[in-house]
Amino acid sequence: MESPTVSTVPEEPAPVATVEPRRAGGVRTAWLLARRILGFAAMPAMGLVSAVAVLPAISHNFGADGWIGIAFGQSVGAALAAVASLHWPLAGANEIAAHPAHRAALVRQSVRQRLVALACLLPLAVGIPLWLSPGDTLSSTLAAVALSGSCMAQTWLYTGLGDPGRLALFEGAPRLAANIAAIGLLVLTPYLWIYPLLQGLATLTSLLLSLRFVRRLPDQVPTLPRDPSAGELALATTAQVSNAAYAYLVGPLISVVTPAFYPIFAAGDRISKILLQGMAAVPAAFLSWVGGAAPDQRRARARQASIVMGVLSLFATVLLGATMPLISRYLFAGTVDLEEVAWLIGATMGAAFLNASLFLVGLVPQGHLQTTYRLLLVASVFCPTLTIVGGLLGGVHGLYVGALVAFLVLIAVQLRIIFRSRELGAASDD
């Protein structure tokens, strides 16, 4: 901040006195964001290491029936968790960053709402694997129940706080400990159900640790300024359901409509999701910086963060396009050839990252939450439709061209909203 006593020389330009503080402030901000990015990257890294260690233990000791059952149950549980999370993963982090005095109240409200949603969905978590699981039924059912409970994770809380350390300690450490224990028990005992049971206990432990921490958060205002209306909750839930359906069903749809191209699409999709999981640390680090800013600064920060996301998406596109053949040969032992579509996969992955990031750091912090939900609804229909139509018209290249075009249209709509909002709340729909 410029001081009126900095300079007494009339002819000296005023900005000279603020150059060094501004530069120092910029360096501090960059260093803060870099530390947060590295911190938030620890969670996907821990998950990747755990998966690489646990899956071989399951497949080696329990065969195809074991890992297929676990995979099926986890797919069901992940879809149900996405629904039971309601609007909190998208809106909660920004609310935490923007309203420090309401943090404890926000967490309490989220726990109540998500517990009700989870209770309503638990019969599906039990019934679907019992009825449809192609593998070990008991383990599949427990896996579905355990992973559906992940809707209670407080990841969005620590994202809004900009606190990757507590995220790793309260959310990552219990899961890592459960996976380490599972590896030993899977080798020493003939009970596959131990693995999903430990996963469920890890989720419960994380929730209890987070609730204990929440008691130390600011609670100056015990009630929220405005509870979401029934219509807003319905829109949020519908958007979450549609988005989860798109994420988990586009692959099976392609396998039915264009089965010849499914192996290539599935391989590219798997690689992209692994990279996207790691790259998610970047918007997570920026979210609290944008959402926690004063209202008159939030618009500028949202635009700056959006530009950074765009640059990173271009970098990821080039990196993945150039290395895709090597990565695919390593992961799939040469059974799938992705060289012809490497750059299309890279471009689609980069666009998918930018599309998701703009929602988090561009639209939501500027008050466009309802617009975000509507765009998610449109995307859940628009993206798979263009992808499948592209596959029917242009083969495997058409699949990725269709998906890429869909993402680019959504990105263009978001950028128009982000960069044409004249002031915070001027075009807000909330």
Please report how many Cα atoms fall inside a 13 Å half-sphere around the Cα of residue 333, on the Cβ side.
0
Local confidence band at 98 (pLDDT 50, 70, 90 cut-offs): confident
User: Which domain-ending residue is among 227, 245, 279?
Assistant: 227
Q: Is position 396 within any domain?
A: yes
Q: Rounded to an integer, what distance in angstroms lies between the CA atom of residue 198 and that of residue 203?
A: 9
Residues 237, 174 within the same domain: no
The total domain count for the chain is 2
Mean pLDDT is highest, among 4-8, 87-91, 206-210, 391-395, for 206-210
Residue 16 pLDDT > 70: no
Same-domain pairing of 195 and 243: no
Distance in angstroms (rounded) separating the CA atoms of residues 360 and 149: 24
Residues 75 and 151 in one domain: yes
Mean pLDDT of 276-305: 84
Same domain, 302 and 167: no
274 & 356 share domain: yes
- Mean pLDDT is highest, among 241-245, 273-277, 354-358, for 354-358
- Write down the pLDDT at residue 281: 82
Report if residue 117 sits inside a domain: yes
196 to 56, 68, 138, 248, 292: CA distances (angstroms) = 15, 13, 10, 20, 37
- Digit-coded pLDDT (tens) for 343-390: 999 999 999 999 999 988 888 888 888 888 899 889 888 888 998 899
Give the pLDDT of residue 18: 46
Same domain, residue pair 180 and 276: no
**What pLDDT shows up at residue 193?**
92
Answer whether 183's CB lies under 8 Å from 54's CB.
yes
CA proximity to 292, closest of 13, 87, 33? 33
Residue 220 is classified by DSSP as S
Specify whether 108 is located in the same domain as 245: no
Q: Are residues 218 and 310 in the same domain?
A: no
Single pTM value for the model: 0.71
Query: Higher-confidence residue: 372 or 41?
Result: 372
Torsion on CA atoms 121, 122, 126, 132, rounded to nearest 10: 20
Per-residue CA distances from 423 to 77, 297, 364, 374 (Å)? 41, 10, 14, 22
Using a pLDDT cut of 70, give the percent of the chain over it.
85
Residue 357 covered by a domain: yes
Percentage of the chain exceeding pLDDT 90: 28
* Among 171-175, 338-342, 382-386, 426-430, the least confident range: 426-430
Reported confidence tier of residue 203, pLDDT bands at 50, 70, 90: very high
From 227, 249, 265, the end of a domain falls on: 227
Contact residues for 143 (Cβ-Cβ < 8 A; gap 6+): 69, 70, 72, 73, 74, 77, 129, 195, 196, 199
Could you tell me how many helices (H) and strands (E) the chain has, helices first? 14, 0
Both 354 and 265 in one domain: the answer is yes
- Rounded average pLDDT over 249-262: 77
DSSP 357-391: HHIIIIIGGGT-HHHHHHHHHHHHHHHHHHHHHHH
Same-domain pairing of 266 and 347: yes
Query: Is residue 103, in this structure, part of any structural domain at all?
Result: yes
Domain finish residue from 204, 227, 250:
227
Section 191-205 average pLDDT: 94
Please report whether residue 337 resides in a domain. yes
Residue 193 lies in a domain: yes
Domain that holds residue 167: 29-227
Please indicate, yes or no, if residue 18 is contained in any of the structural domains.
Answer: no
Does the pLDDT of residue 427 top 50, yes or no? no
DSSP per residue, 54-72: HHHHHHHHHHHHHHHHHHH
213 or 15, higher pLDDT: 213
Model confidence at 426, pLDDT cuts 50, 70, 90, reads very low
> In this structure, is the dihedral angle defined by the CA atoms of residues 234, 287, 353 and 56, taken in order, positive or negative?
negative
Same-domain status, 260 and 405 = yes
Asked if the structure places residue 217 within a domain, the reply is: yes
At residue 90, does pLDDT exceed 90? no
Mean confidence (pLDDT) of the chain = 82
Write the pLDDT tens digit of every residue in 215-237. Answer: 887 766 555 555 666 677 778 77
Residue 43: pLDDT above 80? no
For residue range 151-187, what is the model confidence (pLDDT) as tens digits?
A: 999 988 988 888 888 888 998 899 889 989 998 998 8
Residues 276 and 205 in one domain: no
pLDDT at 221: 58
